Amino acid sequence: MIYQHIGGLLQKGIDTKLIEKADQIYVRNQVLALLKLESFPEINTHKTDDTIPNLLEKIITYAVENNVIENVFDDKEILSANIMNCFVARPSVINSTFQKKYELSPEDATDYFYELSKNSNYIQMNRIQKNIHFKSETIYGEMDITINMSKPEKDPEQIKRELELKSDINYPKCLLCIENEGYEGRTAYPARANHRIVEIPLGNESWYLQYSPYVYYNEHSIVLCGEHRNMKIRKESFERLLSFIEKFPHYFIGSNADLPIVGGSILSHDHYQAGRYEFPMTRAKNAFSFQLEKFSNITASVLDWPLSTIRLQSTDIETLVDAADYVLTVWKGYSDEDAAILAFSGDTPHNTITPIARMRDGLFELDLVLRNNRTTDKHPLGIFHPHEDVHHIKKENIGLIEVMGLAVLPARLKDELEEIKKDLLGQPSEVASYHNDWVDQIKMNYGERSSIEEIDAIIEKELGNKFARVLKDAGVFNEKNDYERFIDRLNE
């Protein structure tokens, strides 16, 4: 069967335009070498017809069963990536193709690169399909809810290896460095042999576009700096975000904040996230408009959104950058004891911004989400962080994706919610104790329900409400008066 699986993979490589027919003997021989096979049957008419990820899984199963590799997570990941690397062109070819397609249309360029990243199995579509997705209506509009099931579980031998690992290897410096392109991987460091990036100059610097291996939304991409340096939100950040939108107006782009607690998971490498998706935040209406007096040709408003957000619009990038930089500068030094906001504790800064850029109706648009990472004894994880009473649903940091209205909830919830549903149906169940108050509240609000369809709808709605509360906890302003005091400071 292994030869049929290899034949099927070669055919899929041709069908998806990863390779041409003229490449198949070369690619086949490369794959044979990786599997320690010395020949290929001359008569082999049948080819396994399946998807690329499924064919890879079959081939990896063969490799384990025939002692080509050990049955260990990293060994399987490395071989899988190495096999697909035989099908993927060199970076120079991919960059050249991307640029030629860009000259015809930015959408053609990103379509090409996204399909390549999926077909090469760099984007892990089989694992992503395990995620649970639904939409939930809240007082702020429809929210996107995802229970993240795509992270693969590590086998005991993999865990043992990592515990025994004593390594001082510092290459690549992090998961976002350009040196990851084509890197084979090692124990406790992901395989990237089939990984490719394309250069997207922003300003006078080298920046690069890649797609996330575990996309949370359509064309979920990462725009990363060629230099390994810490994230920093500053004037140049706004310039880069809007420059990217000018190049790719069909995408949005945003940045995590640059401080712990309110920032993303990787603050050690300057990067942004982009994609072709309309988030709930994009559809948020204005709570009220206001005049930014120093920038009379900028349209400014406060969003009706759980996180405290100022939206700026203009046809002129330079003016918009200056206005955003002004808001950032004022906010970084802004304190308001009535709103529990302190800009500094000693020399430690607390205020920063999560910025998001897009094109809308011919206007450049920037959403500036005001963030503060101060902690207290009452809120040791952060004053403007999900509070303890919602930790049973979401305890992790609120990063860019959540800010825009897409909840990424932990995998544990899949089984926990099934137990809650059993309890609501009056069946024997084992509800985690930290969900008890929530379950009691659901019973009080909805009474008895006997239909699983009704229970499913209730749980989805209540998860949306919980997520809206999670976001509200991360908002720095609760009242219109809080906004108005800050706007007054902006207009001094």
- Convert the pLDDT of each residue in 147-197 to its tens digit: 999 987 777 888 888 888 877 889 999 999 999 999 999 999 999 999 999
Instruction: Examine residue 405 and state whether it is found in any structural domain, yes or no.
Output: no
* Among 121, 153, 180, residue at a domain's last position: 121
Which residue matches tokens 């990063």? Answer: 399
- Are 237 and 379 found together in one domain? yes
Instruction: Examine residue 295 and state whether it is found in any structural domain, yes or no.
Output: yes
Q: pLDDT value at position 415? A: 97
Around 134, how many Cα atoms within 13 Å sit in the side-chain half-sphere?
Answer: 14
d(CA 268, CA 175) in angstroms, rounded, equals 10
* Among 92, 121, 150, residue at a domain's last position: 121
d(CA 433, CA 441) in angstroms, rounded, equals 14
- Are 223 and 272 found together in one domain? yes
**Which residues partner with 13 through β-bridges?**
none
Structure token digits, residue 419: 């137990």
Q: Among 131-140, 155-164, 198-207, 441-450, which is the least confidently predicted range?
A: 155-164
**Is the Cα torsion angle 481, 482, 487, 489 positive or negative in sign?**
positive
- Are 342 and 486 found together in one domain? yes
- Are 357 and 436 found together in one domain? no
What is the mean predicted confidence (pLDDT) over 289-299?
96
Q: pLDDT value at position 423? A: 95
- Are 428 and 310 found together in one domain? no
Looking at this protein, which amino acid is placed at residue 62?
Y
How many CB atoms sit inside 10 A of residue 67's CB? 9
What is the mean predicted confidence (pLDDT) over 398-421?
96
What is the mean predicted confidence (pLDDT) over 40-54?
88
d(CA 355, CA 292) in angstroms, rounded, equals 18
d(CA 138, CA 466) in angstroms, rounded, equals 9
- Are 355 and 459 found together in one domain? no
**Segments in 248-355 forming alpha helices (H):** 317-332
- Are 323 and 431 found together in one domain? no
Q: pLDDT value at position 153? A: 75
What is the mean predicted confidence (pLDDT) over 34-47?
88
**Which residues partner with 409 through β-bridges?**
147
Structure token digits, residue 447: 């009474």
- Are 439 and 375 found together in one domain? no
Instruction: Examine residue 392 and state whether it is found in any structural domain, yes or no.
Output: no
- Are 359 and 484 found together in one domain? yes
Instruction: Examine residue 179 and state whether it is found in any structural domain, yes or no.
Output: no
Taking the alpha carbons at both ends of the chain, their separation in whole angstroms is 75
Q: Residues of the chain with pLDDT > 90: what percent?
A: 92
Instruction: Examine residue 191 and state whether it is found in any structural domain, yes or no.
Output: no
Instruction: Examine residue 142 and state whether it is found in any structural domain, yes or no.
Output: no
User: Which residues form the domain of 69?
Assistant: 2-121
Residue 42 has pLDDT above 90, yes or no: no
- Are 373 and 435 found together in one domain? no
d(CA 104, CA 171) in angstroms, rounded, equals 37
Cβ–Cβ < 8 Å for 158, 78: no
Instruction: Examine residue 126 and state whether it is found in any structural domain, yes or no.
Output: no
- Are 381 and 293 found together in one domain? yes
Q: pLDDT value at position 197? A: 98
The mean pLDDT value of the chain amounts to 95
- Work out how many domains the chain is built from and give that number: 3
Cβ–Cβ < 8 Å for 369, 264: no
Give 63-118 pLDDT, tens digit per residue: 999 999 999 999 999 999 999 999 999 999 999 999 999 999 999 999 999 999 99
Residue 198 has pLDDT above 90, yes or no: yes
Cβ–Cβ < 8 Å for 4, 54: no
Q: pLDDT value at position 444? A: 93
pTM to 2 decimal places: 0.95
Q: pLDDT value at position 152? A: 78
Q: Which of 229, 187, 150 is nearest to 409 (CA)?
A: 150
d(CA 76, CA 161) in angstroms, rounded, equals 14
- Are 429 and 353 found together in one domain? no
Q: pLDDT value at position 81? A: 98
Give 226-280 pLDDT, tens digit per residue: 999 999 999 999 999 999 999 999 999 999 999 999 987 789 999 999 999 999 9
Q: pLDDT value at position 55? A: 98
Give 474's DSSP letter: T
